[in-house]
Structures are given as C-alpha cells and as structure tokens.
Chains A and B, each alone.
Chain A
Amino acid sequence: MSKIYSNKVLIFLAALASFTACKTYYPVTHTDNLEKVTHQISPDKNIKAFYQPYKDSLDKSMKVQLATLSQDLMKEQPESTLGNMMVDILKVETEKYTKKKIDIAILNYGGIRSSSLAKGPLLIENAYLLMPFDNYLVALNLTGQQIQTFCDIIAEYGGWPVAGISFQIQNKKAINIMVGEQPLDNSKIYCTATIDYVANGGDGMEFLRPIPQIQTGVLYREAIMEYWKEQTKEGKQISASLENRVSYAK
C-alpha cells in the first residue's frame, strides 16, 4: 500500500516537474512611446564635453559663409526649389569642367541629404550637409531613347531634380518630354550631366553602367561651393523657383 502511494507521489512529482518546466516567460503585452529629442531636456554635459573639441575644430573650417540664400528652399517630389538649385549647379559646373554643351542634368533625389535650406548665409557646412558623399560630376552622351528610359524610371520614383528637360508623370511613365523647347527626339544624342554614383548604376539606374563617362575629376560638393562663391563674386544671391519641370499629368 505504502509502495503504491509512493509511486503515486513520484508520478505526481514528475507531472509537476514537467508542468513547471514548460512554464516560461512570454511577452504578454507591450506599450510604446516616442521620445522627442528636444532642447527641453537637460543636456548630458559629459557627452557635450566629449564632442566639443571636435566641433570646435570642425566649426573653424565649416562655419565659413560662401553665399547668401534669398529664400527658404525645400526638398520635395516631383519637383522642388532645393532640387532645382542643386541640379542647376550640376548642369552649369559640369558644362564648365567638361567644356561641352550640357543639354540635360539629372540628379538622384536621395542624393540631396538636407531636407531644407533656410534663407540666409550659406556656409561650407551646408555643402557638406547637402552632399556629404564624395560623388563626382560626370557627363554621358545619351540617345533620346535612353533619356526616355531615364525619365520613365524617374517617373516611377515620383520625380527627381532635372534641368534642361521637362516632362509629366502618367501611370508611372514620363510623357510629353521636352528638351529645352523641343520634344525629345529618339534619334538625337543629348549630353547629360549627372553624378558618378548614378552613372555607375546607383539608385536603380543599372542601364547607365555600360555607357562611357566623360570625367571631370571634380567633386560635386566642391562644385556647389565653387558656384556659390562665383555667384557672390558677381554680387548675386542664391535663389530657385518651381518651373513645372516634373509634374503629374492632369
């Protein structure tokens, strides 16, 4: 009798053991919160003290004014003032360094790394914030057909900054493409300025890879600073406007 009883106890203990073994911690609920990082929070003095010497050394070379911006510029799609300023510089400066007439300039939207520029002084720092990458100015001789492909991909992406060309987006395709005042001619060759990142197939432009590049050896960031300085020398401020370069077909 006592033996049976002890067996029962053993079975019970074994059952209990296996029962407890199966018990484990599960996440049963969660809450979420967003902590906005603002000036209202007291700053961590140790962190600030750590990076202050680096900031001081950078500020000496970065907080140097090159030009004055006459209006706020925003980065938006399909077309924006900031995008137009950037791509216009790309066109002018590539023309200068290649000594070729540039028909079209195209810049990847993701290549502009500031979402806005505030009216007022334009500093060397702004050029770094806009274009931190070491991308170079290049030119490509593209056929009208290749420009159509280029614009179709841009249309699918919702618009990139372009100069010398305009088109409308309809069903993710580019329609009514105009180069200057003329409709796009598939048999013509258009000298097109862009950055090496795009010309090397970046941001989905693989079709450009086999096309020979006319190199400038000039960093886009340097070209931006160069242009700003030139404009200042001529007594001009920097500005940009919306010109219906890329829009959605109605």
Chain B
Amino acid sequence: MKTELVMQSRRKFIKQSLIAGVAIGAGVKPNSLFANEIKTQLTILHTNDVHSHIEPFADNDKKYPGLGGAEYRSTIIENIRSKNEATLLFDAGDIFQGTPYFNFFHGDIEIDLMNKMRYDAATIGNHDFDGGIETLARQITRANFPFVNCNYDFSGTPVAGKVHPHIVLQKGKIKIGITGCGVELEGLVPDKLFTSTKYLDPINSVQEQVNILKEKKCNLIICLSHLGYQYKNSKVSDIVLAQQTNGIDLIIGGHTHTFLDKPTIVKNNVGKEVVINQVGWAGVQIGQLNYFFEKSLRKKLSNTQTVIVDKKSIGK
C-alpha cells in the first residue's frame, strides 16, 4: 500500500514534468509555470454508512469476506496522517444501526471509536435517528467532533443547538468550509423517531451556507451529504445538488451505499466542476482525495491544469 502511494506521486511528478516540458516547447514562459508550482497539499479521508460495523465481516461472508473493521480502518487513517499532517477525516452519516453493538450499547461504541480515530466532522443520516431523537442528541454531545447539517430544523427537539449549519477548519494555510445535508425523513424514518424535526430543501439550504463560506474566504468548500448518490426519479441527490448549486468543490456522499471506483465529476450551475465521492458502506473502504493548492489570482487558470495533470481524476 505504501509503495502504491509513492508510485502514484512519482507517476504524477513524471506527468507534470512532461507537461512542463511540452509547455516550454510550446513557448510558454517557464516563469509562469514556476509561479504555479504546487505549494500545499490537503488530504481528505472519508467514510459513509458504516452502520455500526465495528468488527470486520466474517471470513466466509459472500460479499465482503474479512473486509472492514475499526482496528484496520484506524491503521490506514494513522498511516496517511503520518505522511501528511494536513489530513481531514469525515463521515457522511448512518454511523448507527446494523449490528448488535447499536442494539445493546446505543451508539456509545461507534462514537467512542470515531473519537479515537479523530474524526473532524460528520453529518447525520436517516438511521442516526433509529435510537430515537434523545439518543441522537446524547451521542452528538459525546462526540469530540462537530455534526454538520443545514437542512434539518431541530427546533423544539433535544438536538436543537447541537448541530452546526457549517464549520470552518484551518489546515496550515488552507481554510476549509464544511456544510452538510440530509435526506427527507418523512416516509423513510418512523415519525416517533425524528419527532418534530423539519426537513428543509437541501438545494436552498446548502447554497445559503456555501455563500457564507465563500464570504469567509474558504479555499475549499465541502458538503457532507446523506442525500444519496443518484435516483431514477426527480428526487434530490448528490448529482442534483452538484448541478443546481455553485461554490461546492466536493460532495462527500452516503445513503445509497454506492461503491464508486472513481469520484464523479459534475458541472455546477455556473459550469465549474464539482467532485462527488461515496465509498459503499460498512467501512470496507476509505475514500482518499489529495487536493493540491497553489496561490494564484484566479481559479480558471488552474482548472485547465486539473484536466491535464491528472487524467485519472476525470469521471468515467
């Protein structure tokens, strides 16, 4: 695994050198290339729909033999952190429900483990209501990391005031703005579990928060989403959210348990690229995105480079 990472960065370096060579050959001033030299790297790790899967699947499991397990996820996370201090770890919801750990310990073990793995933020999934709204409120209080959601109105419930519509994190020189959103609860979660929580339109709610994060001059804006990757009908999904908003750089998704081989890239409502990623469920995979930042005047100049330098990041 280590060698794989080194190999990747080496390949990337070779590609960049080749492009630089071509650019010089084509008469572009070498100075401008050096000015755009990559300055800083941010690593984003993410999980979704872990569903209380603390232990690995059994070795005789037909779909995920021996995969997953908190003790293995932790090693991966720590290895990556040790390579880059500027690493963030997120979860896109449905932390709870799926194994006896949740039935008997009501979310304590899941949150304790996420605290130990030093998650930076999480959003709320529909199954995070399964222990009832009091259990959700209690677990949010027990977490050492913030829960981010902007389209559930928790007024009058025990969760009120415990969830952030957005947060801003700083890693070195990079300011990261994070918002979050969740799926319609009516018809999905029994009423008695979400009580008076109101679902608000995610497109408007997220755009509002993204505008605030832009004003706060965030260098990267992330939405932790539990809307689901894509639907056959008109139901709002990560794809729809990406297409109908502007300002989001990355959507870390969940809910549909979608295993994406590569992140999907979608154009937003002003034609800019939005990256969407989701890594299945049960913690059998961890998603990793390495963002490279440079100081420049405009984003446009750099975006063309994204395409050239990193062909493999283009959605298929």
12 further A-B contacts with Cβ under 8 Å, apart from A29-B302, A30-B291, A36-B67, are A23-B296, A23-B297, A31-B312, A33-B289, A34-B285, A36-B284, A37-B69, A41-B1, A46-B74, A50-B113, A128-B103, A129-B98
* Best-buried of B36, B66, B116, B187 by chain A (most CB within 10 Å): B187
Contact present for A46 and B116 (CB under 8 Å): yes
Judged by DSSP, the binding face of B is mixed
Give the size range of A's interface with the partner: 35 or more
Q: 1/0 contact trace for A49-69 toward B, CB 8 Å?
A: 011001100100010000000
Q: Does B182 reach chain A (CB closer than 8 Å)?
A: no
Shortest B79–chain A CB gap in Å is 8
- Expressed in whole angstroms, the minimum distance between the Cβ of B141 and any Cβ of chain A is 20
Contact (Cβ within 8 A) B101 A115: no
Evaluate contact between A24 and B8: CB separation under 8 angstroms: no
For chain B, residues 252 to 309, give those with C-beta under 8 angstroms from any C-beta of chain A: 261-263, 275, 277, 279, 283-299, 302-303, 305-306, 309
> What mask results when residues 28 to 46 of chain B are scored 1 for a CB within 8 Å of chain A, else 0?
0000000010111010010
B73 neighbours in A (Cβ, 8 Å): 37
Max count, chain A CB within 10 A of own CB: residue among B69, B76, B285: B69
Shortest distance in angstroms between B47's beta carbon and chain A's nearest beta carbon?
9
Residues in chain A within 8 A of chain B (CB atoms) = 19, 22-48, 50-51, 54-55, 58, 62, 72, 74, 113, 115-118, 120, 125, 128-129, 132-133, 197, 200-206
- B27 within 8 A of partner (CB): no
Is there contact, CB below 8 Å, between B310 and A116? no
Q: Do B54 and A51 have beta carbons less than 8 Å apart?
A: yes
Residue of B nearest to A172 (CB): B232
Known A27-B293, A28-B38, A41-B76: A35·B62 in contact at CB below 8 Å: no
Chain A residues with CB under 8 A of B305: 28-29
Choose one: A50, A120, A133, A206; the contact of B60 (CB below 8 Å): A120
- The 3 tightest CB contacts between A and B, nearest first, are A116-B62, A44-B74, A43-B71
B266 to chain A, nearest CB (A): 15
Task: Enumerate chain B residues within 8 angstroms of A30, measured Cβ to Cβ.
Answer: 275, 289-292, 306, 310, 313
Q: Which residue of chain B has the shortest Cβ distance to A119 in the bound complex? A: B60
Closest beta carbon of chain A to B170's beta carbon, Å? 12
Instruction: Report A-chain residues with C-beta under 8 Å of the C-beta of B287.
Output: 32, 34-35
9-residue interface stretch from B104-112, B148-156, B195-203: B104-112
What chain A residues lie within 8 Å of B38 (beta carbons)?
A: 28-29
With A31-B312, A35-B76 already in contact, the answer to whether A206 and B187 are too (CB < 8 A) is yes
Question: A residues within 8 A CB of B40?
Answer: 25
* Min C-beta distance of A118 to chain B, whole Å: 5
In this complex, what residue of B is CB-closest to A110? B188
Q: Which residues of A contact B236 (CB under 8 A)?
A: none
Nearest CB in chain A to that of B74: its residue:
A44
Chain B interface residue number, banded: 35 or more
- Contact with A26, one of B12, B103, B219, B289 (Cβ below 8 angstroms): B219
Q: Is B316 an interface residue (CB 8 A)?
A: no
Residue in B58, B104, B289, B294 whose CB lies within 8 Å of A28 = B294
Question: For residue A51, which residues in chain B have a CB less than 8 angstroms away from its CB?
Answer: 54-55, 70, 109, 113
> Is B26 in the interface zone, CB < 8 Å from A?
no
Which residues of chain A have C-beta atoms less than 8 A from B58's C-beta?
Answer: 118
Q: Are A43 and B219 interface neighbours, CB within 8 A? A: no
B72 proximity list for chain A (CB < 8 A): 37-39, 41, 43-44
Contact assessment for A28 and B97 in the assembled complex, using a CB-CB cutoff below 8 Å: no
Q: Kindly report which residue of chain A lies nearest to residue B66, judged by CB atoms.
A: A39
- Given A30-B310, A55-B55, residue A74 in contact with residue B293 (CB < 8 A): no
| A42 nearest CB neighbor, chain B only | B75
Q: Which of A32, A34, A206 has the most CB of B within 10 A?
A: A32
Nearest residue in A to B110 (C-beta to C-beta)?
Answer: A51
Q: Say if the beta carbon of B6 comes within 8 Å of chain A.
A: no
Q: Using known A-B contacts A54-B109, A116-B63, determine if residue A47 contacts B116 with beta carbons closer than 8 Å.
A: yes
Instruction: Give the residues in chain B near A58, CB-CB below 8 Å.
Output: 100-101, 104
Task: Answer yes or no: B68 CB below 8 A from chain A CBs.
Answer: yes
Asked if A29 contacts B103 (CB within 8 A), the reply is no
- Can you show 22 pairs from A to B with CB atoms below 8 A apart? A24-B217, A25-B39, A25-B293, A27-B292, A31-B290, A31-B312, A32-B289, A32-B290, A35-B286, A35-B287, A37-B76, A44-B71, A46-B116, A50-B116, A72-B62, A116-B61, A116-B63, A118-B60, A118-B61, A118-B62, A203-B188, A205-B187
User: Given known contacts A28-B294, A28-B306, is B56 in contact with A39 (CB within 8 Å)?
Assistant: yes
Are the C-beta atoms of A22 and B74 separated by less than 8 Å? no
B5-A33 in contact (CB<8A): yes
Partner of B67 from the list A27, A38, A116 (CB cut-off 8 Å) is A38
Q: Which one of A33, A46, A118, A125 contacts B100 once the chains associate, using CB atoms below 8 Å? A: A125
Task: Check B296–A26 contact: CB distance below 8 A.
Answer: yes
State in angstroms the CA–CA spacing of A32 and B314 once bound together.
Answer: 10
A33-B5, A36-B284, A51-B113 given; A28·B292 CB < 8 A: yes
- Residue on A with the closest CB to B280? A34
**A26 close to B71 (CB less than 8 A):** no
Q: Is there a chain A Cβ closer than 8 Å to B99's Cβ?
A: yes
A116: which B residues are within 8 A, CB to CB? 61-63
